[in-house]
Amino acid sequence: SMVTETMNDEEAGILAAHISEDIVAYLRSATVAQFEGARGLQHLRDDLTERANVRSSGKVRELIIETMVIQ
């Protein structure tokens, strides 16, 4: 989930698609060991939120990770 400033549905959909692409690219370059434990999950949240914030020119304030499955 993304916490953003007010924007219309079309704008939010396009932004979400771009951010999703960035997230997938980031996760492909990472290792499972980076996400181990509470500290690893917090680093993941921080990194993804920062990437989303940069990609959206500051419109995204926070990314919320509700569920994560690593296979």
Residue 68 lies in a domain: no
Domain membership of residue 39 (yes or no) is yes
Can you list the pairs that 20-23 forms with residues at least 24 positions away whose Cβ atoms lie under 8 Å? 22/51, 22/52, 22/55, 23/48, 23/51, 23/52
Which pLDDT score is estimated for 5?
79
- Asked whether residue 50 is domain-assigned, the answer is yes
Domain count, the chain: 1
| Structure confidence at residue 46 (pLDDT) | 92
Query: What is the span of the domain harbouring residue 41?
Result: 2-63
Residues in the chain predicted with pLDDT less than 50, given as ranges, are none
Per the domain annotation, does 22 fall within a domain?
yes
Residue 9: what pLDDT? 86
Is residue 71 included in any domain, yes or no?
A: no
Rg, Å, the chain Cα set: 13
Identify the pLDDT of residue 33: 87
CB 1 within 8 Å of CB 61 = no
